[in-house]
Structure 1
Amino acid sequence: MIRISVLLLALFLFGGEGISALPRFAVKLKDRCIDCHYNPSGGIIRNEDGWNWGKNTLSMISTPDKDFIISPRISENISIGIDYRTQYLYSQEKKRTDFQNMSGSIYTNFGLSKEINVIAKYDFVNKIWEGYGIAHILPGKSYIKAGAFVPNFGLRIDDHTAYSRGGDFGLLFSQGVYRGLIYNPFYNEAGIEAGVFADKFLYASASIGANNISPSRPLSKDPTFTSRIELTPNIGSLGLIFGGSFASAKVPDKVNMYGGFTGFGYDEFSLLAEFDIAENLLGADIKTSVMMIEAGYGVLTGLDAIIRFDRIDPNVNFNKDEVSRLIFGFEFQPYSFIEIRPQYRLQIETPSVDNDAFILQFHFWY
């Protein structure tokens, strides 16, 4: 088993998805990503409603800014945001502690008109660019997006180390078998995406592009394809979500991924689950499965308890090669723009190894 201290060093030093949407918020509040973000699939800069909710409602102690004196707008049509994460970690295996720089991003939205926005992000820690234009020129907030972006696959939870996102992405394991899907912090695609909203309960998207993993391959020969459908019906106080995704990409070999997700939110409780199958991810003719289950409960305003189970089966035809982890933690937001995440990670494998870890993550945003 890989040494957990080295694993955590690479996974978190190389950045997190701290500016992604939190799906459990959407299912608890019976909202969609587009209700809080300029990006219809969530992440990067929040719109004014999302920013005001994060500043005035989410924190435990801060006094709400009823007069909206503070704003992310620097002009009538330009908004800015920042996001920075650092963390303290303890490795059970190495019996050592360390501090890590994770990610630091600045992002902006240019509103060219009521229907057209241009979004840009630069991660100055990891030197990663992302930028695209979104035109809501189709009925019902439906849109066309063009530029460099992360494709819309699965639940897109905000921890890239989940196996349903990038996992360990093969950086440290000698056989590279414990990485997750292809969506690590460095992955994006340059292309076009179309999304359709049907009333309040259906969102479907499809994209075609060329990924930055194999930049020498022209789009005309080896395009990537991603499609996703999401249904979010509400039954009284119960918010539901379920849907499925498909993707085909060369990274550098052709990988096909497909799966489903589901969940619900009721009052302060949320439960989300995702299961995916990937063909050729870890080698020719190898089928890999990944699973994620996350439960969250709002203990108090600004304090959520989180439990997540992640599992990867590198080859579904082999037994006892599965790797799992249980994550217990809290997300504490004492003041506006400040979040603290203590987390204990229990690693599960056969044979068992003493390689658990404690993480204390600090998140500052605006």
Structure 2
Amino acid sequence: MSKNLFLKFIFVAASVFSANQAKAEPYISIKTNQPCSACHVNPSGGGMRTSYGNVYGYMELPAESSDANNFDFAKVSEFIQFGGNLRYDFDASKDDATDKTASGFGVESAQIYTLIKAGRDDLLLYLDQQVSPGTALSREALLIKKFDNGDYLKVGKMMPSLGLRIEDDGAFIRQVTGFNFDNSDNGIEYGLTSGSSFYNFFITNGTSSVTNDDNKFQFGARAEYFLGDFRIGGAAVINQGDEVDKKILALFAGYHWNNFTIMGEIDTVNNQNNGTANGNGEDITELIGLIELNYETSKGHNIKVTTEYHDPDDDFKEDHRIRNSVVYEYTPYSNIQLRFGYREREAPPQFPEQNLERIFVQTHFYF
């Protein structure tokens, strides 16, 4: 698929919705016209759910509504609450290099969340602990201070947000930018709310490690505007390093109309070599794009169609990658979601191992 064809796809998708006057998972946030903080304890989204998020998961998301009286069953007391996620897969994949199919069962991810209130609702200790796959890993360990006007302050180990915080960590906008659920960092973040807009600013080590071994940091700013059924936002990040300085710009948007929710993101990543690695001071700019369409056929049934684009160096032609996905999500009742998906990735002919087809079935348990 050429760059022109990808751009044509964007144009056609936008035209279809315009013709019909179209007025975390981010698509649920867009669909409900709510910020991520409405459903998640972490104001940036993801992880443990709030009481509203639990009620939504019990009453609105599944095909068969559950008893809302049980939505906070993991709440031990007014001061301690637990939550969790488990994604268990069967998948089969084949690449062009080996032309062999590999298949099997495995835990894609499993987390336990802990929330401790320090005797008050505006001061929280929040822990996000990965228990599988691999060894146990602390993804987030945060002290969260919430203010009366909706602002917040986070201090600790965190996963800062860039654009759309989609669940699929394999997406180009998540992997290439480095802003994904496998990439925690230590720092501080401040978020503020002003009418129908939301802003957050963060400073982190920028090394994705426990400590910082130099005097260079990562600086980021993000803004999001809620305009009824339409949402638009942008972000900028500067990540300083001894060998490479990385600058990221992101633009994202979403729109909900009837049973359709469409969202997209475009990122540019500029890697400026300081000359210490290869001595040539070469700059490389990457372009990443995503368009996702969600169609809720009926309550508890959602079809997700996604196309992605990654150009690893805009100075070279025909070196881009394309990734397409079709996923059917079925939530029969609360706490359980089944996902059936097909993904294909297309790469230049010189990289046959990157041409990949994958089918998967996933069981998602959440509370």
User: Which TM-score tier does this pair reach, normalised by the shorter chain?
Assistant: 0.7 to 0.9
Residue 193 of structure 1 aligns with which residue? 189
Instruction: Indicate whether 1:104 and 2:110 are aligned.
Output: yes
Percent of aligned pairs sharing the same letter: 25
Shift in Å, 1:253: 2.8
Residue 236 of structure 2 aligns with which residue? 246
Q: Deviations over 1:317-346 (max 9, x none)?
A: 110000001101111111211111111112
Residue 223 of structure 2 aligns with which residue? 229
Q: Distance in 1 between matches of 2:71 and 2:28?
A: 25
Residue 37 of structure 2 aligns with which residue? 34
Q: Name the SS of the counterpart of 2:67 in structure 1.
A: coil
Unaligned runs of 5+ in 1: 1-20, 167-179
Amino acid at match of 1:110: I
Shift in Å, 1:65: 0.7
Q: Name the SS of the counterpart of 1:144 in structure 2.
A: strand
Q: Distance in 2 between matches of 1:262 and 1:208?
A: 24
Instruction: Indicate whether 1:160 and 2:169 are aligned.
Output: yes
Residue 346 of structure 2 aligns with which residue? 348
Q: Deviations over 1:223-247 (max 9, x none)?
A: 111110000111xxxx111011111
1:362–1:248 CA distance, 2 compared to 1 (3 A): same
1:50–1:281 CA distance, 2 compared to 1 (3 A): farther
Residue 328 of structure 1 aligns with which residue? 326
Q: Deviations over 1:69-125 (max 9, x none)?
A: 752311012210111112111124423421122111100111221211211011011
Q: How many residues align structurally?
A: 325
Q: Distance in 1 between matches of 2:181 and 2:189?
A: 20
1:69–1:275 CA distance, 2 compared to 1 (3 A): closer
Larger Rg computed on CA atoms: 2
1:88–1:240 CA distance, 2 compared to 1 (3 A): same
Q: Name the SS of the counterpart of 1:165 in structure 2.
A: helix
Shift in Å, 1:254: 2.2
- Assess if the C-alpha contact under 8 Å between 2:218 and 2:239 holds in 1: yes
Q: Name the SS of the counterpart of 2:61 in structure 1.
A: coil
Question: TM-score, normalising length from structure 1?
Answer: 0.84
Residue 5 of structure 1 aligns with which residue? none
Q: Name the SS of the counterpart of 1:58 in structure 2.
A: coil
Q: Distance in 2 between matches of 1:276 and 1:207?
A: 19
- Counterpart selection for 1:79 from 60, 65, 81: 81
- Counterpart selection for 1:43 from 46, 60, 80: 46
Amino acid at match of 1:84: L
Q: Name the SS of the counterpart of 1:105 in structure 2.
A: strand
CA RMSD of the aligned region, Å? 2.0
Q: Name the SS of the counterpart of 2:315 in structure 1.
A: coil
Q: Distance in 1 between matches of 2:312 and 2:70?
A: 50
Question: TM-score, normalising length from structure 2?
Answer: 0.83
Higher helix share: 2
Residue 9 of structure 1 aligns with which residue? none
Which residues of 2 match residues 1-366 of structure 1 at below 5 A?
21-61=24-64, 63-68=65-70, 71-92=73-94, 93-112=99-118, 113-125=120-132, 126=134, 127-129=136-138, 130-137=140-147, 139-166=148-175, 180-199=176-195, 201-213=196-208, 217-218=212-213, 221-234=215-228, 239-250=229-240, 253-280=244-271, 284-351=282-349, 355-366=356-367
Bigger mean CA deviation after superposition, 333-342 or 66-75? 66-75
Q: Distance in 1 between matches of 2:30 and 2:330?
A: 19
Q: Deviations over 1:342-365 (max 9, x none)?
A: 111122233396631111111111
- Assess if the C-alpha contact under 8 Å between 1:28 and 1:267 holds in 2: no
Large movers: runs of 4+ above 6 Å: none
- Assess if the C-alpha contact under 8 Å between 2:66 and 2:333 holds in 1: no
Q: Deviations over 1:254-290 (max 9, x none)?
A: 2111120111112221010000000118994100010
Shift in Å, 1:188: 1.3
Q: Name the SS of the counterpart of 2:112 in structure 1.
A: strand
Shift in Å, 1:215: 5.0
Q: Distance in 2 between matches of 1:232 and 1:94?
A: 47
Residue 7 of structure 2 aligns with which residue? none
Bigger mean CA deviation after superposition, 90-99 or 302-311? 90-99
- Assess if the C-alpha contact under 8 Å between 1:165 and 1:184 holds in 2: yes
1:45–1:72 CA distance, 2 compared to 1 (3 A): same
Q: Distance in 1 between matches of 2:117 and 2:60?
A: 25
- Assess if the C-alpha contact under 8 Å between 1:134 and 1:144 holds in 2: yes
Q: Distance in 1 between matches of 2:270 and 2:210?
A: 22
1:281–1:156 CA distance, 2 compared to 1 (3 A): farther
Shift in Å, 1:217: 3.2
Q: Distance in 2 between matches of 1:73 and 1:212?
A: 35
Q: Name the SS of the counterpart of 1:318 in structure 2.
A: coil
